[in-house]
A and B are shown apart, each in its own frame.
Chain A
């Protein structure tokens, strides 16, 4: 079942002469883990803003075509209604944190929905635990490091337990182990709670293995849309400038030199396995 659908979606920001989205038609099914990628400035963030109504309600501009999210027509719903179904973690965490303590920031969305105090307490504790920031619950978000702020922003959205969670480069300030932990958390929420997840990411070496659906955009258009293995090895993806995982890239450069591995590897373990076959052949 489709949870997000767009049909011929075209959008232009106010004052801009060029459309940021051009004729975008996609379908995202309930429970999918989607990685949305493409060169910087290609329209990834703008598309995400259509999913929670920030486009067009907050940004204005001109929107043509249809966007439906959890059965709601985005152009006809208020942002606050959409917010109960769709959570967005912004690219820059500073843009969404404002309270004087981490705990208050995480509780804010729930308070606005009028959820009972006990339940808020429970969900805040849970969200802080899931993102590993229980120890900084009393600290002021603006005093934290970029990486810690990103965890707080994710906790804020998690606490809302949305149907769809959109994360716009949520780990860009985090060290690789920290990023891996966040991706593991996101993947677990996707699997265990069935939250449909849309991850905007350039670092496919870290994020690629979690995806079961990849969308590649360029200049406001959807260029590639499908399952990851096919997309990572397509010549098109490389030409658009998608940073395919190095394990997959090794497969490609070996093939150019006439060495074929049996399977297209998506991660180092798979690459090592295929290479072992070739190396121990003789």
Chain B
């Protein structure tokens, strides 16, 4: 295999095809539409299922149906579309069927705009549907990683019979860079729990209803045990130049990539900064960040996001009270330049772990507690 120049949305779509996605259902929404368009020809070429649904509500319930029928199924959308899918997400988790969803995040709230954003962090990590659960959330920072994580998403969904998100933003969806696609995999056989017509075996049921409080609590305990296992086994993150770092920038996805440039520039000036980039937003690399904070070496963390500070809360929970955690963010579809992050980091360094007043009062900086 060799690298080719690929657009993010199309790379994700083709990775899904090669990972053995058997059924795709979706509704057009910018900035993810190329993904749907790619599927519309590719899936039919391969004799697989492609359907443009009447809405995101229908799309997620078609995914629910196809996954219940034993197919590797997926949909893709962007922020407002994901909001529409919330009910279906919860049913998928409650019925323990595997499904993969790609969210190419755009600016909100409301209709917002179609520019890159990370405003869906809370929607995906904290509140992807009613009930007590988190989906697995994978956040690539470049197109190669988007490909690899899409393949991983299908495998994790199958292993844990749960919902897995791949979260990109408009930047990643629309940009092109060289990357290598995986080899084509065969479709996996239907799981034994799937709805296939009962034949001679007892009836299979896919349902999320437990009328008795005791039974529903028992199911929830089982679900929590599964989530605990995922949290223990599936944490992924990138640690960049953290060995001797005194200042750490924490960022995910596209911003993680931008922050890496800022770190490189400051390193050239001899400043001991590093990057901590969560790849799984859930399970969040809480323990790893906590250990970093406890090393006694870190003077301050700077969380940077394309939102008002959503992951910031998780970083603060992980770091605790001993090391200050600052924030620099842009919203509304504004992508930060490396220099902005560099400046914020440099100010932090000059202030010996404190951001100067000018930054604190700026529209994007949040004062530390």
Instruction: Determine if chain A interacts with chain B.
Output: no
- Which B residues have a C-beta under 8 Å from some C-beta of A? none
- Which A residues have a C-beta under 8 Å from some C-beta of B? none
